Structure 1
């Protein structure tokens, strides 16, 4: 499964499980010689090899979301589904690594998304959906079906750009991000500029992504089944409470959700003021070099993630501890695979971190 969280304009992506890479705008999935066309054909090829179901995940950030939803339900010849209550992010027990990676990407979308790998039934999809409630509101042009950004011409629809050219004043509105999960049907394609956070999730039993695709994800989170008996009981009880009365359950976590949302908003606004010492930058690059990480994406993402973590903690300076927390998630999926190596790649990265930083 691949999810998109839009930060501006509307984002639409068609892809099966574990078969996509982050794209630059505009998104294009019509068959052809473009990068989007190649991805489209690769998707079709992958679908023939597996039983995984195609999905179109649409994330909108505008007042016109209803018109977008209705448009696609109409194209599919189906009625619009009623919205399901979303499980609160603050109520998710455990899985701290996955939750941290998601939060850091919200604070700094330039990190480049996150790939979440783990066992079935470990809350991967639930956690991604719950993240939407924590995202800050975004300013868009009121009444525009394409969710145009009122300040960025690159992310304006044709009609909005024409209104700006004529000197008309645009009505704007603050709105929350919504996620719509639609089954993909043959013959439907769309091209539209978008800025988004790419989140992939999958089960290792279903196979792994090729290294060149994995490298496109900024971070990689490993999710395991909770083994502690008491924690498992708590998860089951919380889920039963939610299923019994979703509204009451969500209200019980409202205060925690609001605190987390304020923390994210503050971190986003303070991110530009967070500094990282030259000594830490050099050591990060030493770790990458000694682990034989190809390219510089690992260095860049680790620096960004460490700054985002410092901002999340309310600090304006990155510490070695910040780097140590994020570096396994930034590098584990970039290491060259050794078929004889049984140790988790994250542990290899952590050991190298302590060797260099000590």
Structure 2
């Protein structure tokens, strides 16, 4: 029996992390979340909780890529039914030791040997389509797997050309990575693929730490009562996410907000234009989640630290840290 994850709404503190995950649920196009910080700060707990919180999706029964319609399901899957059903939003773990075949898919050896058929066995990328792909200790991921993820993240399609197979299928997912910075840095190419980045630390406030202990203890010792309360709280967040998705296309973006995005990224010296685009999308999602129909400078100020801090060039003369540098620049540019 699958253990019920700790409720998302019951997580104490870590507001930036929770906000970033909610925003990617409102708009998956933001591009994923990177959570770096101390051990035992609830990084993996938050991802499991998010999976239970997310609204279900409609998928064709038996389709290995969770396609919404029969026409979108690939021919190699040999799915005859057109019936659909609701399934939980996929949240797939990518283990550090996963082989390339397990990630992208490969020849189904059992069918080849027993039936003499050349068939494709889908990998983790197929299962993660229309959902989330979670990598714990993402900074320890092998380079060749990183290169695979970069290619798929760029194209939104998984291509397998090997062993006489020529397979393509959609692979659009939100990438969530967590890690401890003490165990190594992330490759810049992969770092740039994450839309939002947050740093989490162990709480220093005694009252907050006591509340963490109380909730975890209640989850384990008085499970039914605890879940009865926080299941309702999770449902409120889910309803807000669904409402924000509907409101998102209606968000008005004044020209001066676009000017602010560009000026801010120039002042920070961020490479390319991905910073502006991510900042804009995340700010819109934030506005929609807050039931606002017009994007404002306040939305940019609120979201800039988690949208831009991981895009800065290193400055050996500035020991303040990237988040502080973004906050300082935001205060100066958007005063």
Number of residue pairs aligned between Structure 1 and Structure 2: 270
Cα distance in 2 for partners of 1:352, 1:186 equals: 42
Match of 2:192 in 1: 215
Report the CA distance between 1:221 and its aligned residue. 0.6
Cα distance in 2 for partners of 1:306, 1:341 equals: 27
Report the CA distance between 1:231 and its aligned residue. 0.8
Q: 4+ runs of 1 displaced by more than 6 Å? A: 159-162
RMSD of aligned C-alpha atoms?
Answer: 2.0
Report the CA distance between 1:177 and its aligned residue. 2.2
Give the one of 305, 312, 316 matched to 2:282. 305
Match of 2:207 in 1: 230
User: How has the CA–CA distance of structure 1 residues 239 and 144 changed in structure 2, closer, same or farther, with 3 Å as cutoff?
Assistant: same
Match of 2:74 in 1: 157
Q: Does 1:105 align with 2:24?
A: yes
Report the CA distance between 1:212 and its aligned residue. 2.3
Query: Within 5 A, what are the aligned runs for 1:1-358?
Result: 82-150=1-69, 153=72, 156-158=73-75, 163=80, 170-179=82-91, 181=93, 184=97, 188-189=101-102, 190-191=104-105, 192=126, 193-358=170-335
Q: Is the 8 A contact 1:142 1:172 kept in 2?
A: yes
Q: Deviations over 1:280-307 (max 9, x none)?
A: 1111110101111110000000000000
Cα distance in 1 for partners of 2:5, 2:36 equals: 21
Q: Which has the higher contact order (CA 8 A, sep 6+)?
A: 1
User: How has the CA–CA distance of structure 1 residues 152 and 124 changed in structure 2, closer, same or farther, with 3 Å as cutoff?
Assistant: farther
Cα distance in 2 for partners of 1:210, 1:182 equals: 17
Could you tell me the TM-score, scaled by structure 2's length? 0.76
User: How has the CA–CA distance of structure 1 residues 306 and 94 changed in structure 2, closer, same or farther, with 3 Å as cutoff?
Assistant: same
Report the CA distance between 1:198 and its aligned residue. 0.2
Could you tell me the TM-score, scaled by structure 1's length? 0.71
Cα distance in 1 for partners of 2:259, 2:100 equals: 50
